[in-house]
Structure 1
Amino acid sequence: MEQELKLQIAPEDVDRLRQAPLLAHGRAAPPRLLTSTYFDTPDLAIHGCKASLRVRADGERRIQTLKLEGVAAAGVFNRDEFEMPVEGDVPDLTLLQDAIPVGTDCGRLIRDQAIAAQLAPVFVTRINRTAITLHVPPEDEIEVALDEGTVDAQTGSMPVVAVELELKQGKPQALHTAALELLKSVPLLIDHRSKADVGYGLLVDEHAEAIKAKPVRLGKGDSIEDAFCAILHNCLEQVHANERGVVSGHDPSCVHQMRVGLRRLRSALDLFAKVIPAWSGLDEELRWIAAELGAARDWEVLAGATLEHAGTDGNADELEPVRQACTQNAVQNRKRAAAAVESVRYTRLVLELTRWLESKQWRDAMTEEQRAAIDGPARQFAADVLDTRHRKLIKRGRKLADLDDHRRHRARIAAKKVRYATEFFASLSSRQAVRHYVAALTALQDDLGWRNDAVVADHLLRTVSRKSKEVAVGAAFARGYLASRVAADHQALKRVWKRFKRLSPPR
């Protein structure tokens, strides 16, 4: 299993990186030219299996490498890698057959003689690499590779200036510790793409898809700390899975799903705060990146679903100037969100958070009694948390349909926290009880959610109406439409609230 942390560096900062104090303690190998030719079929069957196949020329040696799809989180690529010497400059798929099971898509592909006959070079990377071996601390061995070169295909070329930290021996958090130390000397950014990703990006126009959260799987015997780690890893997986889509700016849904991941993460930290407190300043940083994403999402919702519903009464032409103005604001804020995710500040945040989680740094400041407490059963902790959050929602939701915007917003946040807690601990409760409870909670959240969208939209419409008289006219109509729809929903909100408050949290 290969573990690499990939970082971007600006060309003008390369010399500063070479002078970084951390690298002064390492053992540097002579620079060498690595030419890697990537092979695939005309229809990119290897890429279709979410793999890459290359033959690397390193002096007189020829090394064949097959890399399978893995998990990329906080810049760390964890994936299966199969490497072996070959004769000549073309791959030999028969050498991989003992390593790749026949029952997998990739296993069937490498055993297909027709596929082997179609393999041809699709792009080439030419990289000048300077490798430095570090021991930080002595039991952890990391290779820091400074790569400068190009990725070349018939369709174009892309320059590469990158830093790769590969764990040769030791614990994964050593990668984040080393990266944070390098950040003290030079600006670095998380790199969301491998060289193979860059090469295939020159061949095909692929957009990252928005990724929703996966279910959290907890064991009946898990401790509170086990549950905390599993839940935070799950939240971070959703956050990291959408970073690339946010940076590319192609799909607004990626912004939404990354924002959801951050909300889930903050909710999880709050849920466990009394037993596993986070370090001072973490919530402030999470609030910052969530806010950078939030503005883009608010404008997208207004420009899309909100105005689309408002235009169903035959006022589409009147609303078109408003839609165009809102879409323009959405695009601008999407660029702002992308810049935030591609910032040194965000890089530092995710490196620090990942290291804190992987090394369980919260234990350092705990007493023996506190450590013993988090070794207690997650099941009882979950039941207590769900009861507490449910009761808080019931209190916040009294006479829900008649609350003002501020108090209804507080009830909506309480409902969201109940929903996240229920989903985090769902595997510890009866499946049927969870399904019934979440169904009623979802109906409540949906109603509260679109009402909140209406409140946000009213504020944004007031802002955008200053652009022109045409926009002001359309914005006024949209605001009136939303106000009338909120008023008409009074009884519906009463019904969903009555249905929910009869329930008890799942067990």
Structure 2
Amino acid sequence: MRFASTARRLPREPARRPSLLSGYLQEQRDAVRATEAGARSGDADAVHDMRVATRRLRSALRTFRPVLRRWQPVRDELKWLANELGGVRDRDVMAARLGAELDTQPPELVVGPVRSRLRLTGDHARALTRLRAALDSPRYRTLLGTLDDLVAAGPYLSRNRLRKAARKDLRRADKRLSRARRDDELHDARKAYKRARYAVEVLRPAYGKPAQRLRKNLGELQDVLGDHQDATVTMALLRREAMRAYAAGENTFTYGLLAARQQRAAERSRARVTRVRKRAGKGRGWLN
């Protein structure tokens, strides 16, 4: 008897499709690996995409903790990696934001070597050096191996429990925004909505357009809150650079001008929150 020919006639067993949760975790693990080379070279898009993947993984570990309890220590390692990526990404974004602001000003209002200071070149170079060291470290390699183990474990939660977890995250975010009065509280609300949006992303393959619509609306609210945070952080950076310029004997007029513009930008973003929040409150029925 020729077993080989018999085997060829047997139907191939279909590959098992991952659950919604394990499929999402796999996508983010793959994104971390795929962007490593670009992040190492300092490519802005790769750094951003890798950072987002680490955030999504951390968020999933937190939101769906009941089935991922043994993997909770990974959250600290992902936070470490995200911070190293953020050191590069945040300086890229800040330098671009400030450069665009300077481009809108009449030349006579840009006094002294403001543009060269606000390129943040030195800060960026130091942050990129730290990121490369992190990506070369045994700690990072261990993290990758742990993510591989997490994906291989194939964690599973039913759709009903996934919806329940996403609904809980949304309610928590709504409460935080309702209570927010200070800048840091608005930032906390933004982070809460980001977790809720990521939870909705897990469900998108199963629920299609309703999930995509809610994800989009939550993203818009998150962006408005993010604009407010960016303006607040930019004001703090301008104060720091103004003090450095003053210590070096430079004119600080332009720093004050830019800080005032950022203050107005923060106020405009805060004024938009109510309208955008109303839109983000719609289309949640499918989560019940």
* TM-score, length of structure 2 as denominator length: 0.82
Q: Is the 8 A contact 2:242 2:252 kept in 1?
A: yes
Deviation at 1:424?
Answer: 1.5
Task: Name the residue aligned to 2:163.
Answer: 383
Cα distance between partner residues in 2 of 1:471 and 1:393: 43
Q: CA RMSD in A?
A: 2.5
Q: Which of 441-450 and 329-338 deviates more?
A: 329-338
- What does 1:467-478 align with in structure 2 at a 5 Å threshold? 467-469=244-246, 470=250, 472-478=252-258
Identity %: 28
Cα distance between partner residues in 1 of 2:189 and 2:68: 26
Q: Which of 414-423 and 465-474 deviates more?
A: 465-474
Instruction: Pick from 274, 281, 284 the counterpart of residue 494 of structure 1.
Output: 274
Residues 494 and 305 (structure 1), Cα distance of their counterparts in 2 relative to 1, 3 Å cut: same
Residues 488 and 230 (structure 1), Cα distance of their counterparts in 2 relative to 1, 3 Å cut: closer
Deviation at 1:452?
Answer: 1.4
- What does 1:247-286 align with in structure 2 at a 5 Å threshold? 247-249=40-42, 251-279=43-71, 281-286=73-78
What per-residue deviation string (whole Å, max 9, x for no partner) do you get for residues 326-359 of structure 1? 2331232122212211222211221233234325
What per-residue deviation string (whole Å, max 9, x for no partner) do you get for residues 341-396 of structure 1? 12222112212332343256xxxxxxxxxxxxx76x62112221121112112211
Structure 1 position 436 matched with structure 2 position 213? yes
The answer for unaligned runs of 5 or more in structure 2 is 1-15
Q: Secondary structure at the match of 1:278?
A: helix
Structure 1 position 421 matched with structure 2 position 214? no
Task: Name the residue aligned to 1:63.
Answer: none
- What does 1:255-334 align with in structure 2 at a 5 Å threshold? 255-279=47-71, 281-309=73-101, 311-314=103-106, 317-318=110-111, 319-324=114-119, 326-334=120-128
Task: Name the residue aligned to 2:10.
Answer: none
Q: Is the 8 A contact 1:262 1:286 kept in 2?
A: yes
Aligned length: 266
Cα distance between partner residues in 1 of 2:77 and 2:52: 16
Cα distance between partner residues in 1 of 2:259 and 2:125: 22
Instruction: Pick from 141, 144, 156 the counterpart of residue 350 of structure 1.
Output: 144
Residues 274 and 310 (structure 1), Cα distance of their counterparts in 2 relative to 1, 3 Å cut: farther
Deviation at 1:419?
Answer: 1.0
What amino acid maps onto 1:493 in structure 2? V
Q: Secondary structure at the match of 1:274?
A: helix
Cα distance between partner residues in 1 of 2:77 and 2:137: 13
Higher Rg: 1
More helix by share: 2
Deviation at 1:306?
Answer: 4.2
Instruction: Pick from 233, 254, 257 the counterpart of residue 26 of structure 2.
Output: 233
Cα distance between partner residues in 1 of 2:53 and 2:251: 34
Structure 1 position 450 matched with structure 2 position 234? no
What amino acid maps onto 2:138 in structure 1? V
Q: Is the 8 A contact 1:409 1:452 kept in 2?
A: yes
Q: Is the 8 A contact 1:269 1:278 kept in 2?
A: no
What amino acid maps onto 1:393 in structure 2? A
Q: Is the 8 A contact 1:307 1:478 kept in 2?
A: no
Cα distance between partner residues in 1 of 2:244 and 2:45: 27
The answer for unaligned runs of 5 or more in structure 1 is 1-217, 361-373
Residues 447 and 306 (structure 1), Cα distance of their counterparts in 2 relative to 1, 3 Å cut: farther
Q: Secondary structure at the match of 2:244?
A: coil
Q: Secondary structure at the match of 1:328?
A: helix
Deviation at 1:420?
Answer: 0.7
